[in-house]
Chains A and B, each alone.
Chain A
Amino acid sequence: MEYFLELFMGGLTRGSIYALIALGYTMVYGIIELINFAHGEIYMIGAFTGLIVAGLLTMLGFPTSAILVIAIVCAIVWAAAYGLTIEKMAYRPLRSAPRLSPLISAIGMSIFLQNYVMIAQTSDFLPFPELIPHFDFMDKVGSIMSSAELVIILATVASCVGLTLFIKFTKLGKAMRATAQNRKMAMLVGINVDMVISATFVIGSSLAAVGGVLIASHIGQINYYIGFIAGIKAFTAAVLGGIGSLPGAMLGGLVLGLTEAFATGYVSSDYEDVFAFLLLVLILIFRPSGIMGKEKTQKV
Chain B
Amino acid sequence: MSNESKTMNQSFVRFFLTAGCDGYAHAVRKSFLVALWFVFLTFPIMVIRVNTIENTVVWHWSRIGYVALAIFFGSFVWRWLLARKELKKDESQNETRVESVLTRMQSNPIFKFSALAVLALAAAVYPWAFNLYQTNIMISCLIYIVLGLGLNIVVGLAGLLDLGYVAFYAVGAYAYALCNMHWGLGFWYMLPVGAVLGAVLGIILGFPVLRLRGDYLAIVTLGFGEIIRLVLENWGDVTMGPSGISSIARPDLFGVKLGVVGSTQYMFYIMVGLLVFTIFCVNRLQNSRIGRAWLALREDEIACQAMGIDKMKTKLMAFALGATWAGMAGVVFAAKTTFINPASFTFWESAIILSIVVIGGMGSIRGVIAGAIILILVPEYLREFAQFRMLLFGAIMVLVMVFRPQGLISAKRKIYTYKVAEAGAANE
Contacts and interface: CB of A to CB of B under 8 A. Distances in A.
A78 B43 CA distance: 9
Contact of B398 (A33, A108, A239, A273): A108
A102 B63 CA distance: 30
Contacts of A103: 161, 214-215, 218
A237 B242 CA distance: 29
Contact of A58 (B55, B85, B398): B55
Given A109-B394, A277-B226, A280-B219, A117 B50 contact: no
B218 A112 contact: no
Given A102-B401, A104-B397, A115 B390 contact: yes
A54 B223 contact: no
B79 to A, nearest CB: 11
Nearest to A97: B405
Interface stretch (A5-13, A87-95, A196-204): A87-95
Contacts of A159: none
Interface stretch (B188-196, B277-285, B347-355): B347-355
Contacts of B37: 85
B405 A107 contact: no
A210 B356 CA distance: 36
A48 B52 contact: no
Interface string A119-140: 1111000111100000000000
Interface stretch (A141-149, A168-176, A281-289): A281-289
B354 A54 contact: no
B302 A300 contact: yes
A32 to B, nearest CB: 12
Interface string A68-109: 000000100010011001000110011001111111110111
B185 interface: no
Interface in A44-79: 45, 48-49, 51-56, 58-59, 74, 78
A277 B228 CA distance: 11
B36 to A, nearest CB: 12
Given A56-B57, A100-B161, A101-B405, A274 B52 contact: no
Interface residues of B, number: 61
A156 interface: no
Contacts of A232: 219, 222-223, 226
A81 B40 contact: yes
A195 interface: no
B425 to A, nearest CB: 41
A298 interface: yes
Interface in A183-205: none
Contacts of B52: 51, 54-55, 58, 126-129
Give the most central of B41, B44, B212: most A CB within 10 Å. B44
Contact of B393 (A85, A111, A300): A111
Give the most central of A52, A101, A126: most B CB within 10 Å. A52
Interface size class of A (residues with CB under 8 A): 35 or more
Contacts of A4: none
Interface in B36-80: 37-38, 40-42, 44-46, 48-53, 55, 57, 63
B120 interface: no
A116 interface: yes
B85 to A, nearest CB: 8
Contacts of A107: 163, 351, 354, 397
A17 B372 CA distance: 39
A155 interface: no
Contacts of A111: 348, 351, 390-391, 393-394, 397
A278 interface: yes
Given A35-B215, A109-B394, A239-B216, A101 B401 contact: yes
A280 B49 contact: no
A295 interface: no
B209 A281 contact: yes
A122 B215 CA distance: 32
A59 B219 CA distance: 42
B395 A112 contact: yes
B231 A274 contact: yes
Contact of A53 (B44, B46, B161): B44
B112 to A, nearest CB: 32
A235 interface: yes
A266 B26 CA distance: 64
B119 interface: no
Contact of A112 (B163, B302, B348, B394): B394
B396 A108 contact: yes
A166 interface: no
A280 to B, nearest CB: 5
Contacts of A2: none
16 contacts: A35-B219, A48-B45, A55-B50, A85-B41, A89-B398, A93-B82, A100-B155, A100-B214, A108-B393, A108-B401, A109-B398, A116-B45, A118-B387, A239-B216, A281-B227, A284-B209
Q: Which 7 A-B pairs have the closest CB atoms?
A: A108-B397, A55-B50, A112-B394, A111-B394, A277-B223, A115-B391, A105-B401
Given A56-B48, A93-B402, 10 more contacts: A48-B44, A78-B41, A99-B215, A105-B397, A108-B397, A111-B394, A113-B394, A120-B46, A228-B347, A288-B216
